[in-house]
Structure 1
Amino acid sequence: MVLSRVGAACVLHVRGELDFDTVPAFIEAVLAALDGACRLLVLDLAALEFCDSSGLDAMLDARANPHHTPLVLVAPTPPLLRVLEITGAGPFFVTAASIQHALACHGLPAT
């Protein structure tokens, strides 16, 4: 996982698997992003290959963060979309096709 900033947004690039073994690193990265200066948390999921229930739970926790920072899932992969559909969690998330689209939808510049 790689965390970067784009203006007032924090972008967490999630690659590979988001499961029981990798959730602690995901949570650590989310907590680092939610430092108060982040106005939007973007999860770039284009390279996510697998997500289990612990990964979904961690994403739901990130969405319900104590700072009330909005969360956007960017480019969710078909396996993740299937998990969201099966669990009924899809409506809890905002999705966008690209990082630029996520930023624009929240009135943030892409620089």
Structure 2
Amino acid sequence: MKRILTLLLFLTLLSSCDRYTTPVGILSENELVNVLIDIQLTEGIVSALPIPYDSSQILYSLMEKDVFIKHGVEDSVFTRSLLYYLEDAKKMDRIYARVIDSLVVRESVPEKKEDLF
């Protein structure tokens, strides 16, 4: 009888967990989208500069740190969040679709200059 009650209690607790909430220490989808947008913009800026590849890699890592500071995110939190969302292909597709849509909108409005940092 105790086993059945324990099993029922376990199943009840398991079913009551909300699988749609993000775990603690993981960026929300909106936060991740915003960070990814700025990272893509940073990559674009660095790749457009006429500097050697090794210098561009150093510059990119410095600029990437500025992106994390801007968003108040540690690089380890960003990496964990990215790995978390990569486990669900549909979520990642949705996230990158939002990133691409945002970049297309920014590109189509040439008068608006975004403050990247």
When the two structures are superposed, what TM-score results if normalisation uses the length of structure 1? 0.25
Larger fraction in helix: 2
Pick the structure with greater CA Rg. Answer: 2
User: Which of 1 and 2 has higher RCO (CA within 8 Å, sep 6+)?
Assistant: 2
Larger fraction in strand: 1
